[in-house]
Amino acid sequence: MADIELSYGGGNSEKLDFEETELRLGLPGAGGQKAGNGGAGKRGYEETVDLKLNLAAKEIAPMNLGKDQKKLLPRPDDSVKPPAKAQMVGWPPVRSFRKNIMAVQKNGDTEENEKGSGGVGAAFVKVSMDGAPYLRKVDLKMYKTYQELSDALGKMFGSFTMGKCDTQGMMDFMNESKLMDLLNSSDYVPTYEDKDGDWMLVGDVPWEMFVDPCKRLRIMKGTEAKGLAPKAMEKCKSRR
Amino acid sequence: MRLCHSMMNYFPEEVLEHVFDFLTSHRDRNAVSLVCKSWYSVERLSREKVFIGNCYAINPERLIARFPRVRSLTLKGKPHFADFNLVPHDWGGYVYPWIDAMAKCGINLEELRLKRMVVSDESLELLAKSFPNFKALVLVSCEGFTTDGLAAIASNCRFLRELDLQENDVDDRKGQWLSCFPDTCTSLVSLNFACLKGEVNMAALERLIARCPNLKSLRLNHSVPLDALQKILVQAPQLIDLGTGSFVHDPDSEICNKLKNVLQKCTSIRSLSGFLDVNSRCLPSIYPVCTNLTSLNLSYAPEIFSIELIKLIRHCKKLERLWILDTIGDKGLVVVAATCKELQELRVFPSDLNGMGNAEVTEVGLVAISAGCPKLNSLLYFCQQMTNAALVTVAKNCPNFIRFRLCTLNPTIPDAMTNQPLDEGFGAIVRSCKGLKRLSVSGLLTDQVFLYIGMYAEQLEMLSIAFAGNSDKGMLYVLNGCKKLKKLEIRDSPFGDVALLADTGKYQTM
């Protein structure tokens, strides 16, 4: 039985062309693609996800990708540029376990290490997005607010938003109609699995109280997340 | 000729079985089972150890039907690339159906070894309760279970000898799984829980170790502090393999001194790992065991500076295996080359996974190692840059490579001196190392390197390719050339259907 694993292969460029070997980023139609190249050459992960999901344009808190987009376009004077490191999935090829250990050591701050689960400094959780073929991992301890997390997830998964956060950084769950609007739209909402194994909507508790119970993140369509809302509201009420 | 064949057939089955007992490799037993029907039958009924390299290649029922006396099962699940998040998360590799099927058929399972599989607490509970003679559980890079599953194993497996957890993703349920080993459990030979994130009860751990006189291998997790380590070693001076937990303490304190003294009595220690958190100034405590050390793994300790690593290494003259971080630098590798003349396996891991980092490991270190360590046969080397000239020299110095895995941090970097692709360098490696079984290439590479691989790598069984090659020709060279190829992993390389479908007949042997 063949034991061949392929990952984003494709394209059959004939000549040695350094540009071909670059991993490009940017939304579909952005300047980074060659004309007529279609799906050949390397596709950045974001592009793959976007093509499959056909995400609608955002109205609530649109992602400010303007300046990021410019940073991601290749500069004309670079000759041999490595594939953009931040987006090279799985390179260098180091096991997640080892990556986690390194992240812990780099924290260095022993106080930080004592807080949180089991004395380990990093808090890597898996993030999945419905429709995307691959999971990612984020270290929740790298962020201080929901907005930072939202930005990071946005970069990873293309045009996705977490909706409005009020000044305290908590979503307004007590206002049912606002919540229902969000859940009825085609926007994606982030949800998370907490220590009890329940799936909750992200944003119901202050950030500091979110990091520890959060075991896993899942970005799902608003309409699918509807079933979670009543539970989320109950838990929310019982906390107040 | 015919007379000869008939004579073989007159051997009673017991004799055949006895002869087959001497065949330990599963490949030999597989070969033997193909000779004739009676050999197939004798072999299958006597096979106790089964290895399944791809858990979807066969179903559990078929395994049990063919090998009803199986006692030890090894299963591999997800492909190697899953380690680097390159495989969809719902790919599969669940062990439950295997345990369930074996439990239902009354298989006398004693050993289970799993790699890259999804293991639930439910499966561990079923495992613990279904096989009264269960002795050894080895889980490598698995996920899906929690410390509750481990508690079930500890509580129920009365004759447990081996519980070996390597680099698994385990959820900590803050239970007391280690305390679940009953007082009657005295059979442990190997206990490795280094990958667990949570705390264990120190008193329970010390008592467990004290009552297991046959304990040879112990690997602790980061929650076990230095002073506990010292107390544990007093109870287990017979250890051969030790993985420390946290190695942090005030170096001027009595504890570090006590540790040094107790280590002096641990004259059997040959393998050292751990250091999941380390104060470099405590390292001198371990010098007593360095003289006889054959295996050293410091690859989880980025805080140790090059200068301290070098001091430590100078004490380790008998080292055969070294796993280290690139913080050692080329300078440190030169010291390794001068000190560790018995070195067979070297792995240099990257310390900075975000940037291209402060890594000072280049082709210089590798050339030094190849010159100083003639017995080197296995290499995993993450480096900042490489040159063809260096690889040619390495190939000349070390023709005995069985595993050669080079990983440039920039995956498409050309020769650092000439700016050419690294085709010639890798070509030299495959030409010189006639016994090469595993190869990972990186750096700027064209189809030419694959031509070399196809032409010369006759023993190659596993090849890993990333961001390499120009066209389908590259793949065709490899598939047509490497007759013994079993595993091929490719990412971000321009090989299309033409190449991969060119010789589908070949895939049957892979």
* Nearest-by-CA chain A residue for B195: A97
Chosen from B200, B300, B492 to mutate, greatest number of chain A CBs within 10 A: B492
Predicted local confidence at residue B442, as pLDDT? 94
**Domain segments of chain A: what residues?**
124-221
Tell me the nearest-neighbour CA distance from B405 into chain A, angstroms.
Answer: 11
A102/B351 Cβ within 8 A: yes
Is B154 in contact with B121 (CB distance < 8 Å)? no
Binary contact (B81, A13; C-beta < 8 A): no
pLDDT of residue B505: 59
- Which is nearest to B463 in space by CA: B491, B441, B435, B481? B441
Cβ–Cβ contact A136 with B under 8 A: yes
**Interface contact A3, partner B, CB < 8 A:** yes
pLDDT of residue B30: 93
- DSSP-assigned beta bridge partners for residue B112: B73, B137
Question: Could you tell me how many residues make up chain A?
Answer: 240
**Mean pLDDT, contiguous 10-residue spans, chain A (240 residues):** 43 42 48 39 40 35 40 40 58 86 62 36 80 81 83 72 43 54 69 82 82 86 67 55
Query: In chain B, how many H helices and how many E strands?
Result: 21, 21
Strand pairing category for B345-349 and B217-219: unpaired
Fold of A124-221: Ubiquitin-like (UB roll) (3.10.20)
Nearest CA in chain B to A120: B197
Which pLDDT does position B274 carry in this prediction?
A: 94
Spatial distance between the Cα atoms of B476 and B491, rounded to a whole number of angstroms: 16
Residue B74 — φ and ψ, nearest 5°?
Answer: -115, 130
Interface contact B276-A90, CB threshold 8 A: no
Which among A6, A80, A89 has the least Cβ separation from residue B85?
Answer: A89
Q: What is the mean pLDDT of residues B159-164?
A: 97
What residues of B are in contact with residue A15 (Cβ under 8 Å)? 470
- The Cα–Cα gap between A106 and B352 comes to 9
pLDDT confidence of residue B165: 97
Residue B184 has pLDDT above 60, yes or no: yes
The verdict on A106 touching B (C-beta cutoff 8 Å) is yes
Least confident of A190-194, B18-22, B68-72: A190-194
Q: Which residue has the higher pLDDT, B113 or A193?
A: B113
CATH number, domain with residue B21: 1.20.1280.50
**What sign for the dihedral angle of Cα B137, B138, B142, B143?**
positive
Chain B closest-CA separation from residue A78 CA (Å): 13
Percentage of chain B lying above the pLDDT 90 cut: 77
Give me chain B's average pLDDT, please.
Answer: 92
- Does the residue B198 lie in any domain? no
Q: Chain B residue with minimal CA distance to A136?
A: B85
Q: Angle of helix B329-339 relative to helix B306-313, nearest 10 degrees?
A: 0
Sequence-distant (6+) residues with CB within 8 A of B334 are B365, B368, B372
For residue B6, the model assigns a pLDDT of 56
User: Can you give the pLDDT at residue B112?
Assistant: 98
Write out the residue range of the structural domain in which residue B29 sits.
11-47
Q: Which residues of B touch A16 (CB under 8 A)?
A: 421, 446, 470
A94 and B444 in contact by Cβ < 8 A? no
Of A83, A102, A134, the CB nearest to B302: A102
Give residue A227's pLDDT.
63
User: B178, B491, B501: best mutation site toward chain A, by most A Cβ within 10 Å?
Assistant: B491
**What total of structural domains would you count in chain B?**
1
Q: Which residues of chain B lie closer than 8 angstroms to A5, CB-CB?
A: 79-81, 86-87, 488-490
- Give the CA angle between residues B54, B381, B270 to the nearest 5°: 80
Residue B25 lies in a domain: yes
Best B78, B85, B147 member to test A by mutation, with max A CBs in 10 Å, is: B85
Number of cross-chain residue pairs from A and B with Cβ atoms under 8 Å apart: 169
pLDDT of residue B462: 94
Q: How many angstroms separate the CA of residue A197 from the nearest CA in chain B?
A: 12
Q: Which residues contact B143 (CB under 8 A, 6 or more apart)?
A: B118, B119, B168, B169, B170
CB B99 within 8 A of CB B76: no
Compute the distance between CA of residue B259 and CA of residue A91 in angstroms, rounded to an integer.
Answer: 39
Surface of A (201-220) touching B: CB under 8 A: 215
Q: How confident is the model at residue B84 (pLDDT cuts 50, 70, 90)?
A: confident
* Other Cβ atoms within 10 Å of A77 Cβ, number: 6
**Does B199 contact A119 at a Cβ distance shorter than 8 Å?**
yes
Report if pTM > 0.80.
Answer: no
Q: What is the pLDDT of residue A226?
A: 66
Q: Is residue B21 part of a domain?
A: yes
Which of A5, A91, A117 is facing B197, going by the closest CB pair?
A: A117
The pLDDT, as a whole number, for residue A239 is 54
B454, B482 in Cβ contact below 8 A? yes
* Secondary-structure percent of chain B, ordered helix, strand, coil, rounded to 5: 40, 15, 45
φ and ψ at residue B262, rounded to 5 degrees: -70, -35
**Which pLDDT tens digit goes with each residue over B228-276?**
999 999 999 999 999 999 998 888 889 999 999 999 999 999 999 999 8
- Asked if A10 is an interface residue toward chain B (Cβ–Cβ < 8 A), one would say yes
Which one of B81, B88, B276 has the shortest CB-CB distance to A133? B88
Task: List the single residue in A11, A118, A134 with the smallest CB-CB distance to B85.
Answer: A134
Which residues from chain B sit within 8 angstroms of residue A92, using beta carbons?
Answer: 350, 353, 382, 407, 409, 411
* B422 in a structural domain: no
Judged by CB atoms closer than 8 Å, whether chains meet at A3 and B490 is answered as no
Yes or no, beta carbons of A8 and B79 under 8 Å apart: no
> Looking at this predicted complex, what is its ipTM?
0.81
| Cβ contact, residue pair A106, B302, below 8 Å | yes
- Chain A residue numbers with beta carbons less than 8 Å from the beta carbon of B491 are 6-9, 90
Least confident range from A59-73, B62-76, B116-130, B200-214: namely A59-73
CA distance A117 to chain B (A): 7
